[in-house]
A and B are shown apart, each in its own frame.
Chain A
């Protein structure tokens, strides 16, 4: 028998730094030293390292000074920094830092300098519960809210017990939840990621779908979600029309993964309220829903002429809402002039963009926008990047992959009847078309 030598320590210190007006005054807002193996003063090296990297234009989420390593993320005007001097699990550290952001955001609506200052007692309490000696513990904010409350005085009586949920196998749902009317709302949202080359060929395109739940169910309901999943149909040998192949599926904590692995059944006890049940990725090549053709002509020292044609390549019955075509323009452009066949266009100089908005864009239609900008006679000699044209849109009542919720079975021992409601939306994800600009 081989003797194993595990060496997988976790992170040590979580530090919040705030960035105030001048980056030089970066200071520690709150910190928690979980393991005591890294000197708190080490954080003083963080800022100079960060500044050097930013000057070189080469930031990196991991930096080190001596044998101390800083793993950091930035959230609004805060830096969340974890420090370690071991070979820590880096993916765990980042996943945890993002979880911290999530929990604090749910507690304080916004995670920013002020909310931390105003609530520093709760912040300490939370940090105490979230991680112990570098090991992340309970990070589900719904559960945390049951025993760590913002109004310290109000709930003192209730706080004499640990909610069993904390250590339950079902650590995401408390017992004894009650609703008058039992309902569950299911949102199926598909985001289209697209990358099109300057010569109009699609370089990559995929669909990232998410299934979101808003659960308003009493007790401990047992749910089963049925999708038109091709792998499931292949297993059961049934063939009922259109099916969808999901390339990769990711589930919320609550879904029984081994069950899914063995027979593709999505079964779970849902968290109460809103949650993201699952996400999936589909590689099938779909026709870009909104196709953009653009001609951008730059006449040095005088003007830029932009012509953009947008075409809705989806069913005539469907309508894309809030379509926004964002066309990059040179940073030294001025005096914009626009002409559109529909919607309206405006110049957003702080982002160097011309934004063309179309409130409602029916399928099969084609619209045109022309813009012209003046350019100064003295040219900006700084090289400018070539940002792509990006498009935002939302098409309700439709999934581009054709995925469907076939059923949602809800069983609770009290035997109540519950109603599932389903809604479908397709929207733009990272939708980029490179231009010749």
Chain B
């Protein structure tokens, strides 16, 4: 074919459409030739010429000069030719608005052609001619076509309304087309209904406040009926439109869900995803105890899994959406781990998404399989995939406590491969593991240190430095290691510099004698030679702290850190809700609200899931729906950015449960315009929480641009004024720890003496043991086991006695305990039977623990809840006790108790008598409510305890007594 040849010929000249000018100037002769052919009398020749013109247009040549000649060909009974001319018009009308008017008459005429194909073609093309001048001529033909007898014309006209609205919204409204369009929703033909819905949805987008679609139970019913009959695409328009409806109550919601679920069996993935969107949204309104709710949950899993056999791009969209669904309703896919295993031939983007979902679904039940897979992936060749797999292993360790040990050993194996990026990634995640399980896996530090030289990525270097600083006392050459980093201090990235500064300060506080020079060096590097405000500020703070009050410095810098949370990369709940409403769209793929990437959509209301309207739960936020009935709302897990740097991690840690007492510094850190931190501000900053002081730096980092200029002054008196530390560093009072007592005398245990106590530190229960060998021979192979007990206490790890215990040697061991062991009620309640084994024998003893160590950090009840609960617990469950000889005032008492996680919720003073209302939550979820009466001048307190399990009252009272009197 000739024009095709020409197409090829033109192709050789250039590649881009924008090169078109070049063509017109050089090939002027060609235009003339075409012009002559277009005006030929012979029909065939005309048609060939138009084809040539279109061919030129296709390859990007400017053939607009031929406009009048082409438009002249419009009057033809040849449909194919007409289509080509229309195509030409769509392309060039905008550049030749005056001449476009020439076409109007033909449009009007064609809209009345007896052939519906031509009528539709005319109305379809009309809307694509974006020339203001001619739109008004098109209103009459459009009105006729909207009422055309042929559904093919009506469905095309419906879309044309949306097109016209895009060009001239006012015109469309004035002409009443919107009402006609609304009427088409009741059209007898499903295709027409579908297009009308699509057009209205499109128009409504630019009119966020109009009541265009006017969805009500009647119109919804029409849509649901059309849903069964229209094409796959029409089904998507209707489903997407349904997703915007908010049913009146749970019954309507259920009936819509019932009519939408059959769509889950549609072969088109997009239909399935749109149906999933409707169901996920409307489900929100169904009461969870409804049978249908469970049925619906079960119905959602299989189609979601099947989406993974679709084309890779659709798989990708599905996976990004499944990621959201798993966060919103983890129960749907919790048994489907296997389908997310990565296949060798999956495209990289599918592999990475699958990994994300694997981590989310990892649980104790499937962790073995998951780890085996991850290890397999970590030996692949694709760098990004491998890195993510290594990271995933670390996430599993943090998420599934039982697997931590296996994860760590897997990571060590991977470090042995010496593949550089694997090693670095592994070190970064091991740092997180240390944060989650402190003092448990330090034995691996030696292996990590071997790889020090190969670390060239800032994140890995920072992680390694953090580890060295944190465990400086156990690394003999910690000073040498850190010093080696110091040499190139100024070449390091900021996160490494900050980390190095903190690590060296830690080291100094732990081993002050040998490292004085080092700490001075780093402080001067940070404060004097650096232009980085974050670094300088942190340097100054340490400097002041160290020079003012080394004890306080120690308490601040070496304070216990709160543990990091297990869930990672969670999307913030309100955003998650919004994204669920956008399932299947770009927003759900980007995990960003549409306002973040669509121009002009700011200010448009964000979509929200509907509130549950079922009985009982009222307007309660669905997220805490499961918290109803006495148990505490689960603290929202904090979010750790996946690729987040150390700084990010540490910032977030402030939010992580369990937090120790004291205000969280993150807020004060953010608003620090400078002056806030002085005086009182610093108290809150340094208050216990921040522990690994880097967070402090992060806090500063949040507002570097507003640092006061005076900070640029040299260190000296000025600084002293700035940082008025005078007694500022206030540590929260720690939890009560009873003195150590002898549990197992040496004579009963062949020379092994065990004494000890229990403590709760930063949310971890610890059994602190002192083992003394009073025999003549060396003792090795220590192990410990508990009998079943009232609160399910169990060792969270092995008893770490690493070196043999020689005669007359003593060793202190702290054993972290978990509360997930087997439960059996003991008498007394806090009795614990322990078996300790060594190379000689097995010994048994029993001890009693202070129940206060089971008081959890999130035991502060909301006032309202407290009141309701207090009323709710029968009076029979109340017990009263007297605490004698206590000389604290109510405030001091309250502070002291808070240190042991006994939280004062309210205080009332009645006739000189302070009434304190307190709440306590035990690790097994039992709440204890207390009322403490303190009368000024009277050393005897009265305490009333109310609890659903009254048997704990006695033990709780003992704790009150112990805490207040010590």
Partner pick for B155 among A147, A167, A250, CB 8 A cutoff: A167
Of B306-314, B614-622, B733-741, B840-848, the stretch lying at the interface with chain A is B306-314
Cα–Cα distance between A89 and B339 once the two chains are bound (Å): 25
Bits for B666-685, please: 1 = Cβ < 8 Å to A, else 0: 00000000000000000000
Q: How far is the CB of B192 from chain A (nearest CB, A)?
A: 7
Cα–Cα distance between A135 and B197 once the two chains are bound (Å): 11
Partner pick for A94 among B151, B215, B236, B314, CB 8 A cutoff: B314
Q: Is A118 an interface residue (CB 8 A)?
A: yes
Within 8 A of A (CB), among B215-273: 215-216, 228-229, 231-233, 236-237, 240-241, 243-246, 248, 259, 261-263, 265-270, 273
Q: Is A418 an interface residue (CB 8 A)?
A: no
Bits for A252-291, please: 1 = Cβ < 8 Å to B, else 0: 1100111011000000000000001011010000000000
Q: How far is the CB of B623 from chain A (nearest CB, A)?
A: 20
Within 8 A of B (CB), among A123-163: 124-125, 128, 132-140, 147, 152, 156, 159-162
Set of chain A residues within 8 Å of B317, measured between Cβ atoms = 90-91, 94
Once A7-B594, A40-B17 are accepted as A-B contacts, the answer to whether A388 and B344 lie under 8 Å apart by CB is: yes
Q: Is there an interface contact between A91 and B605, defined as CB atoms closer than 8 Å?
A: no
Cα–Cα distance between A3 and B588 once the two chains are bound (Å): 23
Considering only CB atoms, which chain A residue lies closest to B198 in the complex? Answer: A135
Once A36-B130, A132-B156 are accepted as A-B contacts, the answer to whether A195 and B306 lie under 8 Å apart by CB is: no
Once A87-B594, A204-B338, A248-B303 are accepted as A-B contacts, the answer to whether A92 and B236 lie under 8 Å apart by CB is: yes
Interface bin, chain B: 35 or more
Q: Is there an interface contact between A44 and B597, defined as CB atoms closer than 8 Å?
A: no
Q: How far is the CB of A263 from chain B (nearest CB, A)?
A: 12
Q: Is B326 an interface residue (CB 8 A)?
A: no
Q: Is B901 an interface residue (CB 8 A)?
A: no
Set of chain A residues within 8 Å of B166, measured between Cβ atoms = 35-37
Set of chain A residues within 8 Å of B269, measured between Cβ atoms = 91, 94-95
Within 8 A of B (CB), among A233-261: 247-253, 256-258, 260-261
Q: How far is the CB of B50 from chain A (nearest CB, A)?
A: 10
Set of chain A residues within 8 Å of B311, measured between Cβ atoms = 73, 94, 98
Set of chain B residues within 8 Å of A124, measured between Cβ atoms = 54, 83-84, 87
Q: Is A378 an interface residue (CB 8 A)?
A: no
Considering only CB atoms, which chain B residue lies closest to A5 in the complex? Answer: B208
Once A4-B245, A7-B204 are accepted as A-B contacts, the answer to whether A250 and B263 lie under 8 Å apart by CB is: no
Of A57-65, A178-186, A293-301, A419-427, the stretch lying at the interface with chain B is A57-65
Residue among A120, A384, A385 having the largest count of chain B Cβ atoms under 10 Å = A120
Set of chain A residues within 8 Å of B156, measured between Cβ atoms = 132
Set of chain B residues within 8 Å of A135, measured between Cβ atoms = 159, 195, 198-199, 233, 237
Of A20-28, A104-112, A215-223, A362-370, the stretch lying at the interface with chain B is A20-28
Once A385-B381, A386-B380 are accepted as A-B contacts, the answer to whether A169 and B229 lie under 8 Å apart by CB is: yes
Set of chain A residues within 8 Å of B211, measured between Cβ atoms = 3
Q: Is there an interface contact between A281 and B309, defined as CB atoms closer than 8 Å?
A: yes
Cα–Cα distance between A137 and B8 once the two chains are bound (Å): 31
Bits for B921-957, please: 1 = Cβ < 8 Å to A, else 0: 0000000000000000000000000000000000000
Partner pick for B60 among A28, A160, A386, A388, CB 8 A cutoff: A28
Q: Is B883 an interface residue (CB 8 A)?
A: no
Of B112-120, B444-452, B774-782, the stretch lying at the interface with chain A is B112-120
Cα–Cα distance between A67 and B672 once the two chains are bound (Å): 35
Q: Is A200 an interface residue (CB 8 A)?
A: no
Set of chain A residues within 8 Å of B243, measured between Cβ atoms = 8
Once A125-B83, A247-B302 are accepted as A-B contacts, the answer to whether A208 and B309 lie under 8 Å apart by CB is: yes
Once A7-B204, A248-B306 are accepted as A-B contacts, the answer to whether A203 and B241 lie under 8 Å apart by CB is: no
Once A90-B585, A128-B124, A248-B303 are accepted as A-B contacts, the answer to whether A8 and B150 lie under 8 Å apart by CB is: no
Q: Is there an interface contact between A387 and B11, defined as CB atoms closer than 8 Å?
A: no
Cα–Cα distance between A50 and B504 once the two chains are bound (Å): 45
Partner pick for B267 among A44, A73, A279, CB 8 A cutoff: A279
Set of chain A residues within 8 Å of B589, measured between Cβ atoms = 62, 90
Q: Is there an interface contact between B381 and A384, defined as CB atoms closer than 8 Å?
A: yes
Cα–Cα distance between A191 and B92 once the two chains are bound (Å): 51
Q: Is there an interface contact between B124 and A161, defined as CB atoms closer than 8 Å?
A: no
Q: How many residues of A contact B (CB 8 A)?
A: 106
Q: Is there an interface contact between B265 and A386, defined as CB atoms closer than 8 Å?
A: no
Set of chain A residues within 8 Å of B127, measured between Cβ atoms = 133
Q: Is A358 an interface residue (CB 8 A)?
A: no
Set of chain B residues within 8 Å of A41, measured between Cβ atoms = 17-18
Q: Is B797 an interface residue (CB 8 A)?
A: no
Cα–Cα distance between A278 and B266 once the two chains are bound (Å): 9
Q: Is B209 an interface residue (CB 8 A)?
A: yes
Q: Is there an interface contact between A27 and B341, defined as CB atoms closer than 8 Å?
A: no
Q: Is B105 an interface residue (CB 8 A)?
A: no
Cα–Cα distance between A118 and B1 once the two chains are bound (Å): 7
Q: How far is the CB of A404 from chain B (nearest CB, A)?
A: 20
Bits for B382-416, please: 1 = Cβ < 8 Å to A, else 0: 11100000000000000000000000000000000
Cα–Cα distance between A137 and B116 once the two chains are bound (Å): 16
Q: Is B528 an interface residue (CB 8 A)?
A: no
Q: Is B201 an interface residue (CB 8 A)?
A: yes
Q: Is there an interface contact between B383 and A57, defined as CB atoms closer than 8 Å?
A: yes
Q: Is B316 an interface residue (CB 8 A)?
A: yes
Cα–Cα distance between A161 and B339 once the two chains are bound (Å): 49
Considering only CB atoms, which chain B residue lies closest to A56 in the complex? Answer: B384
Set of chain B residues within 8 Å of A85, measured between Cβ atoms = 598-599
Q: Is there an interface contact between B265 and A261, defined as CB atoms closer than 8 Å?
A: yes
Cα–Cα distance between A62 and B592 once the two chains are bound (Å): 14
Once A95-B314, A169-B229 are accepted as A-B contacts, the answer to whether A3 and B209 lie under 8 Å apart by CB is: yes
Considering only CB atoms, which chain A residue lies closest to B16 in the complex? Answer: A44
Q: Is A52 an interface residue (CB 8 A)?
A: no
Q: How far is the CB of A240 from chain B (nearest CB, A)?
A: 24
Q: Is A377 an interface residue (CB 8 A)?
A: no
Residue among A26, A121, A171, A260 having the largest count of chain B Cβ atoms under 10 Å = A121
Within 8 A of B (CB), among A375-410: 383-388
Q: How far is the CB of A174 from chain B (nearest CB, A)?
A: 14
Once A28-B60, A135-B198, A167-B189 are accepted as A-B contacts, the answer to whether A160 and B115 lie under 8 Å apart by CB is: yes
Cα–Cα distance between A156 and B582 once the two chains are bound (Å): 45
Set of chain A residues within 8 Å of B51, measured between Cβ atoms = 121
Q: Is A432 an interface residue (CB 8 A)?
A: yes
Within 8 A of A (CB), among B574-614: 582, 584-590, 594, 597-599, 601, 604-605, 607
Q: Is there an interface contact between A8 and B267, defined as CB atoms closer than 8 Å?
A: no
Q: Is there an interface contact between B4 and A118, defined as CB atoms closer than 8 Å?
A: yes
Q: Is there an interface contact between A120 and B376, defined as CB atoms closer than 8 Å?
A: no
Cα–Cα distance between A276 and B124 once the two chains are bound (Å): 32
Partner pick for A90 among B58, B192, B200, B584, CB 8 A cutoff: B584
Q: Is there an interface contact between A159 and B130, defined as CB atoms closer than 8 Å?
A: no
Q: Is B162 an interface residue (CB 8 A)?
A: yes
Considering only CB atoms, which chain A residue lies closest to B203 in the complex? Answer: A6
Considering only CB atoms, which chain B residue lies closest to A95 in the complex? Answer: B270
Q: Is A30 an interface residue (CB 8 A)?
A: yes
Q: Is there an interface contact between B205 and A9, defined as CB atoms closer than 8 Å?
A: yes
Partner pick for B270 among A91, A125, A430, CB 8 A cutoff: A91
Q: Is there an interface contact between A147 and B117, defined as CB atoms closer than 8 Å?
A: yes
Q: Is B369 an interface residue (CB 8 A)?
A: yes
Q: Is A302 an interface residue (CB 8 A)?
A: no
Q: How far is the CB of A141 from chain B (nearest CB, A)?
A: 13
Partner pick for A88 among B265, B314, B585, CB 8 A cutoff: B585
Q: How far is the CB of A266 from chain B (nearest CB, A)?
A: 10
Bits for B8-31, please: 1 = Cβ < 8 Å to A, else 0: 100100011110000000000000
Besides A44-B16, A86-B586, A90-B585, 6 new A-B residue pairs in contact (Cβ under 8 A), listed by A number: A2-B245, A2-B246, A121-B51, A166-B152, A261-B261, A386-B344
Pairs of residues from A and B, 10 with the lowest C-beta to C-beta distance, nearest first: A248-B302, A4-B244, A257-B262, A87-B594, A167-B151, A261-B262, A136-B233, A91-B270, A61-B313, A2-B246
A-B residue pairs in contact (CB < 8 Å), sample of 17: A5-B208, A6-B241, A6-B244, A7-B201, A43-B17, A62-B316, A90-B588, A96-B270, A124-B87, A137-B231, A138-B231, A206-B339, A253-B267, A281-B305, A385-B382, A388-B344, A434-B376
